[in-house]
């Protein structure tokens, strides 16, 4: 049997508790990240840092939606609504990032050096990939498209952290102020794509769900998700 099979109620309960912990951690971290980024962005007149802070606010809304879904045992009933909220969060993220990037390109005003911003981007670049991996792995094993979609939101934070770090360093070192906004536009495009996928996504089909439908073990092993799944 596949490693992603949810083996009985005890395992399922463990996965749900893990999702709840990861969501709580994501909310707490992103609230702190948003406050630091917005204050540092205002101090340095950095549109990149301000955009990063707004992104953190949007990520909190996505994590709150998943927290709401898993706040009760019959979380599958809330899957569709949660996916809609996450989808809108992706679109809002894309809009904010694209707006900040275009404004930075059009004004051509370089931001001041920000040691706090560089440190924040470096820490996020180390923390977010691990959180995203754990979210995605747990969501796939549990059979939850919303948890998987939220992991993609977290992964986009990783990309933004990298773009922010490169942009701030290049701006400080060689004056290449345009590096960050162009990277931001690329990230905005990715956010739109993920938003569309989340909007169209159906509930994930875990191996447990396939067995409940009557599929045999060999079928579940070779095709853990059905054609309408967004795992």
Whole domain around residue 170: which residue ranges? Answer: 8-201
Within the chain, what is the greatest distance between any pair of CA atoms? 62
Residue 49 resides in a domain: yes
How many C-beta atoms surround the C-beta of residue 211 within 10 A? 16
78 assigned to some structural domain? yes
Q: Which of the two residues, 90 and 47, has the higher pLDDT score?
A: 90
- The verdict on residue 38 lying in a domain is yes
User: Does residue 126 belong to any structural domain of this protein?
Assistant: yes
pLDDT tens, 62-73? 888 888 888 877
CA dist 8 and 176 (Å) reads: 55
CA angle 66, 72, 75 (to 5 degrees): 60
CB 158, CB 132: distance < 8 Å: yes
3-class state of residue 56 by DSSP: helix
Q: What is the pLDDT of residue 8?
A: 52
What are residue 229's phi and psi, to 5 degrees? -85, 155
Whole-prediction pTM: 0.72
CB atoms inside a 10 Å sphere around CB 71: 11
Task: Give the CATH number for residue 37.
Answer: 1.20.1510.10
pLDDT average, residue stretch 144-171: 86
Q: Does residue 231 form part of some domain?
A: no
Number of domains comprising the chain: 1
pLDDT in tens, 86-132: 888 889 888 888 888 888 788 876 667 889 989 999 999 999 999 99
């Amino acid at each position: 049997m596949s490693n992603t099979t949810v083996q009985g109620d005890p395992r399922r309960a463990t996965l749900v508790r893990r999702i709840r912990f990861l969501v709580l951690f994501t909310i707490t971290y992103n609230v702190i990240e948003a406050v630091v980024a917005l204050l540092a962005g205002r101090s340095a007149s950095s549109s990149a840092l301000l955009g990063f802070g707004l992104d953190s606010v949007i990520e909190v809304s996505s994590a709150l939606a998943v927290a709401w879904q898993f706040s009760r045992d019959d979380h599958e009933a809330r899957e569709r609504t949660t996916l809609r909220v996450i989808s809108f969060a992706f679109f809002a993220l894309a809009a904010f990032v694209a707006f900040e990037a275009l404004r930075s390109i059009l004004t051509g005003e370089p931001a001041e050096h920000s040691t706090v911003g560089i440190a924040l981007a470096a820490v996020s670049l180390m923390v977010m990939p691990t959180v995203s991996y754990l979210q995605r792995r747990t969501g796939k094993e549990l059979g939850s498209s919303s948890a998987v979609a939220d992991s993609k939101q977290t992964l986009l934070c990783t990309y933004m952290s990298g773009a922010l770090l490169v942009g701030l360093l290049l701006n400080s070192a060689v004056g290449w102020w345009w590096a960050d906004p162009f990277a931001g536009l690329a990230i905005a495009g990715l956010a739109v794509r993920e938003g569309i996928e989340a909007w169209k996504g159906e509930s994930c089909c875990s191996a447990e769900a396939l067995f409940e439908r009557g599929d045999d073990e060999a079928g579940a092993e070779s095709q853990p998700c059905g054609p309408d799944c967004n795992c």
